[in-house]
Amino acid sequence: MTQHRKSIHGEWSSRLAFILAATGSAVGLGNIWKFPYITGENGGGAFVLVYLLCIALIGIPIMMAEILLGRRGRQSPINTMESLAEEAGRTPHWRLLGWAGVLGGFLILSYYSVIAGWALAYVVQTADGLFTGASAERVKTIFDDLVTNPGRLLFWHTLFMTMTMTVVARGVQSGLEQAVRFLMPTLFVLLVILVGYSMNTGAFAQGLDFLFTPDFHRLSWNSVLIAMGHAFFTLSLGMGAIMVYGSYLPKDASITQASFYIAGADTLVALMAGMVIFPIVFSNNLEPGAGPGLIFQTLPIAFGQMWGGAFFGTLFFVLLVFAAWTSSISLIEPAVAWLVENHSVSRVKASVVSGFVTWLVGVGTVLSFNKWSEVTFFGKTFFDLLDYITANIMLPLGGLAIAIFVAWLMKKRTAREELALPKGPGYSLWYFLIRYVSPAAVLIVFLNVIGVFKLG
């Protein structure tokens, strides 16, 4: 019987370990780097509101579904989807959903690693005191010098990929469980300190206003798609990362509670990052829509001026690297688990192979910031295109397929058994959201963006 399966890769030592690991996957560059810059590019408050609605109405229900699939299947997402489809009397082609996830993970990690490389470079630069007393223009010059230099970017990208694959090769439980237990609380404390700094910039109210006062004139359907895509990205949904973590989850742990903790912590970190960054942006007359370089051009200004800034700044970028690190291992874990299961290779070999392929694709992103910056596809650079396709298309479609499978194709009893929710309003609400609301929302947003019909 499927419910007695155990993963061949082992199990988390406790429910807390799972929550920390999944939070480690969720909290990453998405919260601290991406959320502020896409909020800046998409006009602020209204975008944030849509994002929060997507987390509550689509993200949390799909996270519960993804974890329950993983725990039921107990294998890599490809094999999990195949065996659960068989269990439900459906076509084994559902394994393609697992394949799409593996592909998505490769593509995301390829550029994620390049950006994490920027953070690594900033650890060294901040520790060197490069930003001490620096003006906003000087900070921008330092950023431009980094990203226009392919050799330097390649060096940091290579280092970060090596760090990631080393952890993955050693197995998720040992190094990782320990690391997140310490890192996540420390990151949080540092963010609190930075919020304290931002409160004294003189533009805190303006920052909050930008973040929380919705102005719907600034919201397009494409912005809604980006907000929805980001809800998937930030919660690591729609590509099997949370599914594979769920497959290592002990049988008696509550999936519902865990999902709320993970989503809550993730949202809090993103909002705090916004509260740190926008006041600094406005008090230095910077542009909130500056794009991917935003935090790298704003935070160093704060660190350059505050007491002990070189120390706190270095610590901050170290933690940003750690946050990215705990996410990146979850991006590649579905592929590695599958290679181990189906090709009887060791974890080490599986990690080297998948890491190399990812690194190679990442070279495209490295070049898109300099030598290939003029090379565009559909008006987007290689990096922008990868980011757009993965976050805004692949993850929501993956999430849609998960919702359809769990709410429409799987036996109702199976889902209830895994969630272990008593019959009542909580279960009914989840079922309603996953069966109707999440799929409809994803579809409506998509159809609007591709112009099949127009709402407003």
Binding site for ligand PFF (CB under 6 A): 25-26, 28-31, 105, 108, 233-234, 236, 239, 241, 327, 330-331
Shortest Cβ 303–ligand PFF spacing (Å) = 22
Distances in Å between the Cα of 338 and the Cα atoms of 8, 335, 427 are 11, 5, 32
CA atoms within 13 A on the CB side of 262: 35
- Residue with smallest beta-carbon separation from ligand PFF: 30
- Torsional sign, CA 13, 235, 263, 209: positive
Could you count the other beta carbons within 10 Å of the beta carbon of residue 373?
14
Shortest Cβ 21–ligand PFF spacing (Å) = 11
Q: Which is nearer to ligand PFF, 194 or 263 (CB)?
A: 263
CA 44 from centroid of its chain's CA atoms: 20
**Phi first, then psi: what are they for 358, rounded to 5°?**
-65, -45
Residue 317 · residue 131 · CB < 8 Å: no
Q: Which is nearer to ligand PFF, 61 or 77 (CB)?
A: 77
How far separated are the first and last CA of the chain, in Å rounded? 51
Shortest Cβ 383–ligand PFF spacing (Å) = 15
- Cβ-based neighbours of 229, under 8 Å, separated by 6 or more: 391, 392, 393, 395, 396
- C-alpha–C-alpha distance, residues 440 and 433, integer Å: 10
Amino acid code (one letter) for 451: G
Amino acid code (one letter) for 12: W
Q: Which is nearer to ligand PFF, 153 or 231 (CB)?
A: 231
Q: Which is nearer to ligand PFF, 105 or 364 (CB)?
A: 105
Shortest Cβ 120–ligand PFF spacing (Å) = 15
Shortest Cβ 262–ligand PFF spacing (Å) = 10
Q: Return the HEC string of 330-350.
A: HHHHHHHHHHHHHHCCCHHHH
**Which two three-digit tokens encode residue 170?**
């050693």
Q: Which is nearer to ligand PFF, 325 or 369 (CB)?
A: 325
Q: Which is nearer to ligand PFF, 123 or 301 (CB)?
A: 123
Q: Which is nearer to ligand PFF, 231 or 290 (CB)?
A: 231
- C-alpha–C-alpha distance, residues 19 and 26, integer Å: 10
Q: Which is nearer to ligand PFF, 235 or 385 (CB)?
A: 235
- Cβ-based neighbours of 413, under 8 Å, separated by 6 or more: none
Shortest Cβ 266–ligand PFF spacing (Å) = 7
- C-alpha–C-alpha distance, residues 132 and 105, integer Å: 37
Shortest Cβ 104–ligand PFF spacing (Å) = 7
Shortest Cβ 218–ligand PFF spacing (Å) = 24
